[in-house]
Structure 1
């Protein structure tokens, strides 16, 4: 017994110590979660107090230190935030988010070049962190170098294809350029990834007004589409009978397709398919855009799916159509451009809308590194195809 008793005491002490350690971690986690809620409510001082208590209970947990740095950052106490973040780097507990906040803090401290160096270092260490590409691109926007900014946003799309903000930034740049085609696709992918936000509403309006501004019906016999540098205008002979107009239009389309300059996807696969899709329309509104987008998907699927460029957005649209919800989806995508008409449509199609929303919540677009839509890759494919010919 004199041998067993000390052993039992040791075992009991070890179990007790382990239980105490587990309890401390659980208490630290609870305090951290409560602190985050306080931070979200703007109660930064109270949040920091709780985080300090949590850190005493679990000093090795990097998330607690990160949240402390975030609270200090929000207080604009950038020096203290940097101390905490540097401590994580020193302890090799840094993540991509740590480098992003460090860069932001340095920028706020009036050290933009050091901020850029920090983002670059973060990208090297965490090449799949979409936020780092975003921040790096924003720095280029501040230099008014939109091409360099796009380079980072599009690298971010490739590296982190389900991170929405790089799509958002790229879409806004392109929708304010003479290459709207890329913004139309990036913007709609963004809306599918980040649903229900103010930014989603903003992009919905931009997509609608871009359609409205770049598709023009100049007369009963003339319409133009301009989503890339080349403006595709179709002229019909006013003296021809309506039945003959379709043939004339097809010939005109073929000639323009052969003459397309620049990227084949922008001027050919996308824009010329869109030109075919507006045949029969006289104006641009939500109802006509629903018809145009439906025709576009059908034509693109039939004529180009196997021979042109895979587009994850169009693949997703096909799944929406197969489920029977393409009309509701089209109204959702563009509805913020004409809220009154959108609201009226929803009221008249309440059952259809509710059914679509239920399906939509359960079926999200899935963008991976393998199927991500990135402009640079599309252009590279185009160059390779032309070189092969």
Structure 2
């Protein structure tokens, strides 16, 4: 018996040690995050609660729990926990995400004013965190605060020019007030995210803007209808691209000419963007100001000046159902890789206003 006991006792401590190592907070946290990523939010929350029994002040675990609660649809519980975290641990490193989860939960609870207040508090504390501006913009747009939403989306893309959704939403919101500006945002989105359902919806919107104000009545008649605001010189505005829009409409009318019938969608888009960039960047008017003038125009001008604009337009048109476009993309992988390398190194001009 003593011999057996001597064998069993070390084995007991061996397996106990293994269990302790396997169930340490770090290992459990990884397990909880893995369950969350698989969509098992309840399972993840259960593990987070196990950790919090041992370490009730573990702010990383508390943050992950708010994320799982939100994804699970437990919005009130998520909001309550976020509020408690921000009160007890006002300076912890995960609070950027906590503010976002808190505001999102309040959005789902139909409390937009409270959500905007939370995002604003987060922005005051973390003024360079683009997702706080983006999330506030989403709430503002839903509740018809369009100007505020546009301002926040501009801030979001200036802080993170790679954030595709900010470019997309900004383009959509600008489409009714400034078509040239909207085209720039949608073009930037499609360059970064040229495939998928969102791209398939964004490309027709971009092409419609590029061909707007022009209608083919029949085989012999093409009508260009310019909104009154395009020719009203008394109206002052930033990013005043009205004369450029008029020129674009004239060029769009030529799309119906037989000489242009063989051009594919990317070629036509490239012509229009090249003209837009040329007119705006060469304008001598020193009073021309605005976010698009200082942020987007230098980027697209750099593409044109460095010979990348055509490649960019083919990338934008990836989701177009045209054989010529697909063929070009298939044969020019090198040009596409070169453009993306250029984009990674490009230093965006961040507006100061």
> Does the aligned pair in 2 maintain the 1:260–1:267 contact within 8 Å?
no
Structure 1 gap ranges (5+): 1-19, 233-255, 378-389
Could you say what the CA RMSD is over the residues aligned between the two structures, in angstroms?
Answer: 4.0
Q: Aligned residue pairs: how many?
A: 321
Task: Give the TM-score normalised by structure 1.
Answer: 0.66
Contact 1:128 1:160 in 2 (8 A): no
- Which aligned pairs between 1:1-389 and structure 2 lie closer than 5 A? 28-55=25-52, 60-89=57-86, 90-92=88-90, 93=92, 95-158=95-158, 160-175=160-175, 177-194=176-193, 196-216=195-215, 224=224, 230-231=229-230, 261-263=235-237, 265-267=239-241, 270-271=244-245, 274=248, 281-282=255-256, 286=265, 287-301=267-281, 303-304=282-283, 310-321=293-304, 324-336=307-319, 339-341=320-322, 343-348=323-328, 350-352=330-332, 354-364=333-343, 371-372=349-350
Deviates more, 1:185-194 or 1:92-101: 185-194
Q: Given that residues 66 and 98 in structure 2 are in contact (C-alpha distance below 8 angstroms), is that contact kept between their aligned partners in structure 1?
A: no
**CA distance in 1: counterparts of 2:38 and 2:78, whole angstroms:** 19
1:209-264 per-position Cα deviation (integer Å, ceiling 9, x unaligned): 221333457898977485x86346xxxxxxxxxxxxxxxxxxxxxxx9xx584337
Which SS does the other structure have where 2:343 is aligned? coil
- 1:119–1:136 contact (8 Å) kept in structure 2: yes
Q: List per-residue Cα deviations over 1:97-151 (Å, max 9, x = no partner).
A: 2112112222333433332322222222222222222333333333333234334
Query: Displacement of 1:39 after TM fit?
Result: 1.6
Q: Could you tell me the TM-score, scaled by structure 2's length?
A: 0.72
User: Please, which runs of 5 or more residues in structure 2 have no aligned partner?
Assistant: 1-16
Q: Secondary structure at the match of 1:364?
A: helix
How far the C-alpha of 1:71 sits from its partner, in A, is 0.8
Inter-partner Cα distance in structure 1 for 2:214 and 2:305 = 27
Matches of 2:199 and 2:23 in 1, distance apart? 37
**Cα distance, 1:81 vs structure 2:** 2.0
**CA 272–213 in structure 1, closer or farther in 2 if over 3 Å, else same:** closer
